[in-house]
Chains A and B, each alone.
Chain A
Amino acid sequence: MSFVEYRELIQDGDTAIVFLGHDSMFPVAIKHGSQTQTKYGVIRHSADLIGKRYGSKVTCSKGGWVYILYPTPELWTMNLPHRTQILYSADISIITMMLELKPGSVVCESGTGSGSLSHAIIRTVAPTGHLYTVEFHQQRAEKAAEEFRQHKVDHLVTVKNQDVCKNGFGVSHVADAVFLDIPSPWEAIGHAKCALKVEGGRVCSFSPCIEQVQRTCLSLEEHGFTEINTLEILLRVYDVRTVSLPVPDLGRPGDEKSAAGSDSSELSKQTSACELYKSGVPPRETVGHTGYLTFATLSLF
């Protein structure tokens, strides 16, 4: 297994996703001889998982079953251990496209945080690109580096433990794109400019508050960035349901004979009439704001 290339079979050392149904899943590190407890009973890795095909049904000891899924950055985002607030796939998608990331891109990122975006970037820039990620919190930096090793993508990423606002990204004029998710991004814009290739590139900064955006935009302008554009993306998820609405009883037409073929027959009177239809129902509560995304271009010419 590797986060940047699909494999068919489950192997020792893989990270897999155990899917229990109804949005309930968790990641598991596959290891010879170990076992995983689920509400449907135990899964023994050697007998039940290793050598099986990803996507297959696995019966647990109590007779219930789960699916074992191949880990994609999107599934990882939904299941990773949070060390910080993380970015979700809706924001990650637009960031990836607006930064024009593709195989071969060199990207600088700070902070690494829980590595949610990092995994998505690595997936996109592999096999020939590279991610330089900077995290000033030592434990978080170490944990991220360890995860990259576990997921067999450590050759595509360099983790640095330093303060990006003071010391920058530790590389200069190599990046096609820079991403900032830090409390004071305006202090890192100069370093972002240094990290970008001489011929220019794209930057993105993620901030929850408009005041942060304001200062970042001023800083971007001062440093000569163009095409400065702030946007926000909101994900709306719909539950698919069959809805039935009762038809109101407006009383029976008295002596008046209704037209032939009309619905007011004896039958419809006896059954309580309902209209059925399919609907995409928005959840009662949903995420209303994650953060503002500010994009800009650095161009020499």
Chain B
Amino acid sequence: MEASAPVGGQLISEGDYVVLKREEVFKAVQVQRRKKVIFEKQWIYLDNAIGKNYGTTFEISAGGNLQQKKKEITAAEPKEAGADNRNIIDDGKSQKLTRDDIEALKEKGIKGQEIVQQLIENSTTFRDKTEFAQAKYIKKKKKKYEAVITILRPSTRILSMMYYAREPGKICQLRYDTLAQMLTLGNIHANSKIIVMETCAGLVLGAIMERMGGFGSVIQLYPGGGPVRAATDCFGFQQSFYKALYEFPLNKIQSLVSGTFSSRTAHSDQELALDEESNGSVIEKQDPVTDMDEESSPATESEAMMDINQKETQEGAEGSEVPLGHDKGQNPDKKLFAIEKKRKQDERRRKESEAASLLQDRNADGLIIASRFHPTPMLLSLLEFVAPSRPFVVYCQYREPLLECYTKLRENGGVINMKLSETWLRNYQVLPDRSHPKLIMSGGGGFILHGITVSRDSSASNIRSREKSEEPAPKKIKVEESGS
């Protein structure tokens, strides 16, 4: 089965989406030959990583090239150590090497490991420090001088931690433990039909797709001109995962509910405008992954999306025949472009009407909402498309809108077992004789409202069927207690 095979091979290959890790910092990039990547203030070329295994650790050598790092045998315990710091005086002269000396070492291209060793040897107070303080000193210097990165395969775990650390604003401050709750409470699993409405750069969508493993279908509702999937791309899903991914514009939901929707409806002005813009000669494609540090508005991100779409259709169109234009004065390029545009629009329209009919079945297995919009109106409309006895989960950065949402749903009916919750996450440092909580994370992780849909037709199911059945005479059967 195609979908059961692991995504990609065991080896890093060109074009793969990978995650670079240094200490606790992650960055998602696409592997391309001879392409400079900036990570933690360093230029890197990923050429040497191609063909290596995922999980390999590299050292950054001169010129930003990567060199596979051998698994090191833990260094022998330092021989001498002090008991306490009563005799350590901070006179600022404990380090014999000057800044210039260290710079000179770096210029020579000496390995970070050796620089650290030099620093230790030239520190007059090192031997008087306690064992713990020595370990701490070494760790600190290593972090500064030894540039070591690991290349990992992307996953929800890594990407959600990365986004929360680097781009919390783009994912509505959705902390990774909160995302984990959503996936579980939503009972996201293979072979289900899930509706998702998110404005979290496509991270929530990616997480859902990972949990479904290419089995079942996902209908993504989007505001504006198109869904933002910058984070979804970082997962590097195989093409088959996208076959059952549908998108439908949020602004046509009302017409779908009232039954006035038709797939022939012309595209909204906004979409057309976006099309026009992306028809400019060559728009520099914004790579949302490498431009992590830049603020980009949702509009530009969806533009990037459009560009990607266009690229794909262009590639697709290359093989197709171009009918000769009757109009002699017409530029063949323009002609080709018009055909492509038509194709693209037809394709989008087809997908949209497929999404519409999937929604109109009103039998979705779950609903996940995580957006910057007010959750109440969305929930009230979208729950229409969910089958009874299915979970729904709504995320909101703030608690108050969910309080209102809870009240409205209560009045509206059709849902039970609603819960408003939040999770706190606490990380620990665990070391011999030095264990304690690291930092408390609270607030800013967001809130969740979840519940279960139920049937609203009260009359039909209430009528007791008068059919003859194999009911036993209602009588109490005494169960003998065994004396175990």
A293 and B316 CA atoms in complex are apart in Å by: 48
Known contacts A35-B474, A47-B471, A103-B4, A232 near B426 by CB under 8 Å: yes
B421 within 8 A of A: yes
Query: Are B4 and A280 in touch, CB under 8 angstroms?
Result: no
Residue interface mask A250-281, B partner, CB < 8 A = 1? 00000000000000000000000000001110
B467's partner among A47, A54, A280 (CB-CB below 8 A) is A47
A48 within 8 A of B: yes
Residue interface mask A46-85, B partner, CB < 8 A = 1? 1110001111111100000101111011100000000000
A73 and B183 CA atoms in complex are apart in Å by: 12
A239 and B422 CA atoms in complex are apart in Å by: 12
B451-484: which have CB < 8 Å to A? 452-455, 457-458, 461-462, 464-465, 467, 469-472, 474
What is the total number of residues of chain A having a CB less than 8 Å from a CB of chain B? 79
Query: Are A46 and B10 in touch, CB under 8 angstroms?
Result: no
For A92, give the chain B residue with the smallest CB separation.
Answer: B184
A94 within 8 A of B: yes
Residues of B within 8 A of A56 (CB): 388, 454-455, 457, 461
A199's partner among B10, B214, B387, B407 (CB-CB below 8 A) is B10
Query: Are B420 and A74 in touch, CB under 8 angstroms?
Result: no
Q: What is A's interface to B at a CB cutoff of 8 Å?
A: 4-6, 8, 19, 21, 23, 32-35, 42, 44, 46-48, 52-59, 65, 67-70, 72-74, 89-90, 92-94, 96-98, 100, 102-104, 120, 123-124, 126-128, 199-200, 210, 213-214, 217-218, 228-240, 278-280, 292, 294, 297, 299-301
Query: Are A97 and B416 in touch, CB under 8 angstroms?
Result: no
B432, B461, B465 — most chain A CB neighbours (10 Å): B461
A72 and B56 CA atoms in complex are apart in Å by: 39
- 4 nearest CB pairs, A to B: A55-B388, A103-B213, A55-B389, A128-B4
Known contacts A103-B190, A126-B190, A238-B421, A54 near B430 by CB under 8 Å: no
23 A-B pairs with CB atoms under 8 Å apart are: A6-B390, A23-B417, A35-B471, A42-B474, A47-B469, A55-B452, A59-B462, A69-B389, A70-B389, A93-B177, A93-B181, A93-B184, A96-B180, A96-B184, A97-B157, A103-B3, A104-B213, A230-B428, A232-B425, A236-B424, A278-B404, A279-B403, A301-B57
B213, B399, B421, B431 — most chain A CB neighbours (10 Å): B213
For B57, give the chain A residue with the smallest CB separation.
Answer: A301
A34, A96, A218, A238 — most chain B CB neighbours (10 Å): A238
B211 within 8 A of A: yes
For A16, give the chain B residue with the smallest CB separation.
Answer: B389
In terms of DSSP, what is the predominant structure of the interface of chain A?
mixed
Residues of A within 8 A of B45 (CB): none
Query: Are A238 and B399 in touch, CB under 8 angstroms?
Result: yes
B212 within 8 A of A: yes
Q: What is B's interface to A at a CB cutoff of 8 Å?
A: 1, 3-6, 10, 52-53, 55-57, 68, 71, 155-157, 160, 176-177, 179-181, 183-185, 187, 189-192, 210-215, 363, 365, 387-391, 399-400, 402-404, 406-407, 416-417, 419-428, 430-432, 435, 452-455, 457-458, 461-462, 464-465, 467, 469-472, 474
Query: Are B422 and A238 in touch, CB under 8 angstroms?
Result: yes
Residues of B within 8 A of A4 (CB): 189-191
B5, B388, B427, B464 — most chain A CB neighbours (10 Å): B388
Quote the shortest CB–CB distance from A4 to chain B (angstroms).
Answer: 7
A57 and B474 CA atoms in complex are apart in Å by: 22
Query: Are B416 and A6 in touch, CB under 8 angstroms?
Result: no
Query: Are A57 and B454 in touch, CB under 8 angstroms?
Result: yes
Residues of B within 8 A of A294 (CB): 430
Known contacts A6-B192, A55-B389, A104 near B183 by CB under 8 Å: no
B181's partner among A8, A90, A102 (CB-CB below 8 A) is A90
Residues of A within 8 A of B181 (CB): 89-90, 93
Quote the shortest CB–CB distance from A199 to chain B (angstroms).
Answer: 6
For B450, give the chain A residue with the smallest CB separation.
Answer: A74
A56 and B390 CA atoms in complex are apart in Å by: 12
Query: Are A6 and B365 in touch, CB under 8 angstroms?
Result: yes
A45 and B150 CA atoms in complex are apart in Å by: 58
Known contacts A4-B190, A103-B190, A97 near B183 by CB under 8 Å: yes
Residues of A within 8 A of B56 (CB): 301
Query: Are B176 and A97 in touch, CB under 8 angstroms?
Result: yes
Known contacts A57-B455, A126-B189, A213 near B435 by CB under 8 Å: yes
A72 and B453 CA atoms in complex are apart in Å by: 13
A104 and B211 CA atoms in complex are apart in Å by: 10
Residues of B within 8 A of A35 (CB): 471-472, 474
Query: Are A104 and B454 in touch, CB under 8 angstroms?
Result: no
Known contacts A54-B388, A214-B430, A236-B424, A103 near B469 by CB under 8 Å: no
Query: Are B1 and A128 in touch, CB under 8 angstroms?
Result: yes
A65 and B458 CA atoms in complex are apart in Å by: 10
Query: Are B416 and A67 in touch, CB under 8 angstroms?
Result: yes
Query: Are B399 and A231 in touch, CB under 8 angstroms?
Result: no
Query: Are A213 and B428 in touch, CB under 8 angstroms?
Result: yes
For A239, give the chain B residue with the smallest CB separation.
Answer: B420
Query: Are B156 and A97 in touch, CB under 8 angstroms?
Result: yes
Query: Are A69 and B452 in touch, CB under 8 angstroms?
Result: yes
Query: Are A70 and B390 in touch, CB under 8 angstroms?
Result: yes
Query: Are A236 and B190 in touch, CB under 8 angstroms?
Result: no
Quote the shortest CB–CB distance from B323 to chain A (angstroms).
Answer: 44
B4, B68, B471, B472 — most chain A CB neighbours (10 Å): B471
A278 and B210 CA atoms in complex are apart in Å by: 37
Query: Are A240 and B180 in touch, CB under 8 angstroms?
Result: no
For A72, give the chain B residue with the smallest CB separation.
Answer: B187
Query: Are A124 and B211 in touch, CB under 8 angstroms?
Result: yes
Residues of B within 8 A of A94 (CB): 177, 180, 425
Query: Are A234 and B424 in touch, CB under 8 angstroms?
Result: yes
A300 and B10 CA atoms in complex are apart in Å by: 12
Residues of A within 8 A of B430 (CB): 210, 213-214, 217, 228, 230, 294
